[in-house]
């Protein structure tokens, strides 16, 4: 109906997410022309956020103390997210190319307003709308949402590694590193050499559901904020839906599963998604850093041009060559008074700061 290479907007992926997260509310939108021809699609997730999902002290600190701790501690909201709560990027909607941007955004806004109205009638009021999240090349056109009453929010950068065309193997990548970081990479590979790394199939994931959940929850519990909590059942459904395009590695020490990582391949891209990790083993075996190098290795193997590896641990990710890319999303409190109060607070939110490492030889950064 609407051509897109974005796997996060494919029917197979959306079915997998909904089946695995059946405790969330999903809404799917189809937009038609005056001739009743489909011209656009969108999807939304409605999730509940409480103070239990947030590191409240970290949030207060990042907002410069502008919101009192007591207010955040009592947080209990239903949030509508246009886009994917569990994947970074522009995954919420798409219109045919000939549809003007303003027409598309106005149509999307009206449809979201209709969802809010219906939820209110059913006694399930939605507090906040979020439209997430956009890359720099979309900033100009998306700024129109500010005219629609939304606040523009700068979130933490997404770390992205661009692969060179002449890298045909992981060894080519290692050769492109300067001597200091090539030594570090080899040290990680030596430390993690005692691990058994297995590519998980549907059958393997099915057998390891409880262990995968435990490892994933360890990561989420340490996060300062989460839009929600995924589960191993959802990862299983995604693997069923996407097959080899959903890269799933398990990391063993002996017979013990101590970590896993997943990434989605589409459109010349490897998008690192979810990890699970037993931190008791991480330092001794460099498990997390090995996962990052394995993302790079797999991306080269499948001929990807970029590896996107997310918003956390920016300094470590820059050590494998990823560079920060600014991202923005848009939010609106459905209560007009509270929305007016929200703007100065969210405007005070700033991305994390970190020391950027540049591990490649100088010529990498010139081309």
Its pTM stands at 0.90
Map residue 8 onto helix, strand or coil. helix
CATH number of the domain encompassing residue 23: 3.40.630.30
Query: What average pLDDT is seen over the chain?
Result: 89
Whether residue 305 sits in one domain with residue 175: yes
Whole-angstrom Cα distance, residue 43 to residue 297?
A: 33
Whether residue 336 sits in one domain with residue 296: no
Is residue 64 scored above 60 in pLDDT?
A: no
Give the lowest-confidence range in 8-17, 27-36, 57-66, 212-221: 57-66
Whether residue 195 sits in one domain with residue 212: yes
Map residue 37 onto helix, strand or coil. coil
Enter the tokens of residue 191: 């430390």
pLDDT of residue 220: 87
CB 311 within 8 A of CB 155: yes
Report the percentage of the chain scoring pLDDT > 90. 72
Whether residue 131 sits in one domain with residue 23: yes
Whole-angstrom Cα distance, residue 365 to residue 358?
A: 9
Whether residue 204 sits in one domain with residue 152: no
pLDDT of residue 349: 63
**For residue range 291-343, what is the model confidence (pLDDT) as tens digits?**
999 999 999 999 999 999 998 899 999 999 999 999 999 988 876 655 555 56
Map residue 265 onto helix, strand or coil. strand
pLDDT of residue 121: 94
Beta bridge partners of 196: 252
pLDDT of residue 164: 97
Residue with tokens 């990548």: 173
Enter the tokens of residue 365: 């950064």
CB 204 within 8 A of CB 250: yes
Whether residue 231 sits in one domain with residue 144: no
Map residue 200 onto helix, strand or coil. coil
pLDDT of residue 59: 53
User: Confidence class of residue 101 from pLDDT cuts 50, 70 and 90?
Assistant: very high
Map residue 108 onto helix, strand or coil. helix
Nearest to 162 by CA among 270, 313, 6: 270
Q: Is 165 a member of any domain?
A: yes
Whether residue 293 sits in one domain with residue 188: yes
Nearest to 351 by CA among 160, 158, 154, 159: 154
Whether residue 169 sits in one domain with residue 149: no
Is residue 274 scored above 90 in pLDDT?
A: yes
Report the percentage of the chain scoring pLDDT > 70. 86
Is residue 83 scored above 80 in pLDDT?
A: yes
Whether residue 183 sits in one domain with residue 298: yes
Q: Is 308 a member of any domain?
A: yes
Whether residue 189 sits in one domain with residue 297: yes
**Cα angle, residue 27 at apex, residues 24 and 33 outer, rounded to 5°:** 170
Whether residue 171 sits in one domain with residue 126: no
Whole-angstrom Cα distance, residue 35 to residue 45?
A: 29
**For residue range 228-268, what is the model confidence (pLDDT) as tens digits?**
789 999 999 999 999 999 999 999 999 999 999 999 999 99
Nearest to 258 by CA among 202, 216, 311, 320: 216
Total tally of structural domains belonging to the chain: 2
Q: Is 351 a member of any domain?
A: no
CB 87 within 8 A of CB 271: yes
pLDDT of residue 226: 65
Element of type H or E holding 250 = strand 246-253
Enter the tokens of residue 144: 């129109």
Is residue 63 scored above 90 in pLDDT?
A: no
Beta bridge partners of 128: 79, 333
Whether residue 185 sits in one domain with residue 284: yes
Q: Is 314 a member of any domain?
A: yes
Q: Are strands 76-82 and 323-333 parallel, antiparallel or unpaired?
A: unpaired
Q: Is 1 a member of any domain?
A: no
The sign one gets for the Cα dihedral 221, 227, 228, 232 is negative
Q: Is 51 a member of any domain?
A: yes
What is the extent of the structural domain holding 254? 160-324+357-366
Q: Is 2 a member of any domain?
A: no
């Amino acid at each position: 109906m609407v051509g897109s290479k974005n796997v996060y907007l494919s029917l197979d992926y959306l079915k997998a997410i909904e089946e695995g997260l059946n405790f969330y509310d999903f809404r799917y939108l189809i937009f038609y022309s005056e001739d009743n021809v489909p011209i656009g699609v969108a999807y939304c997730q409605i999730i509940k956020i409480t103070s239990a999902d947030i590191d409240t002290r970290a949030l207060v600190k990042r907002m410069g103390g502008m919101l009192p701790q007591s207010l955040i501690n009592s947080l209990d909201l239903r949030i509508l997210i246009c886009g994917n709560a569990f994947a970074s990027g522009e995954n919420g909607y798409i219109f045919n190319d000939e549809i003007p941007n303003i027409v598309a955004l106005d149509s999307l806004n009206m449809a979201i307003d209709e969802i809010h109205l219906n939820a209110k009638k059913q006694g399930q009021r939605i507090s906040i709308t979020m439209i997430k999240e956009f890359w720099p090349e979309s900033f100009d056109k998306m700024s129109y949402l500010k005219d629609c009453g939304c606040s523009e929010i700068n979130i933490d950068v997404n770390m992205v590694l661009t692969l060179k065309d002449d890298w045909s193997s992981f060894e080519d990548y290692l050769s492109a590193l300067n001597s200091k970081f090539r030594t570090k990479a080899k040290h990680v590979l030596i430390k993690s050499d005692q691990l058994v790394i297995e590519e998980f199939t549907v059958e393997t994931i099915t057998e390891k559901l409880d262990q995968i959940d435990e490892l994933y929850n360890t990561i989420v519990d340490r996060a300062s904020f989460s839009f929600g909590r995924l589960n191993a059942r959802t990862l299983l459904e995604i693997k069923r839906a996407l097959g080899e395009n959903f890269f799933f590695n398990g990391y063993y020490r002996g017979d013990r599963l101590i970590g896993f990582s997943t990434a989605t391949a589409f459109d010349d891209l490897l998008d690192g998604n979810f990890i699970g990790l037993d931190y008791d083993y991480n330092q001794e075996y460099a498990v997390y850093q090995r996962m990052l190098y394995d993302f790079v290795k797999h991306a080269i193997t499948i001929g990807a041009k970029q590896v996107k590896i997310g918003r956390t641990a920016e300094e470590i990710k820059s050590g494998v060559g990823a560079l920060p890319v600014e991202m923005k999303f848009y939010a609106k409190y459905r209560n007009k008074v509270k929305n007016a109060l929200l703007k100065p607070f969210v405007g005070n939110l700033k991305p994390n700061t970190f020391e950027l490492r540049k591990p490649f030889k100088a010529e990498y950064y010139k081309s």
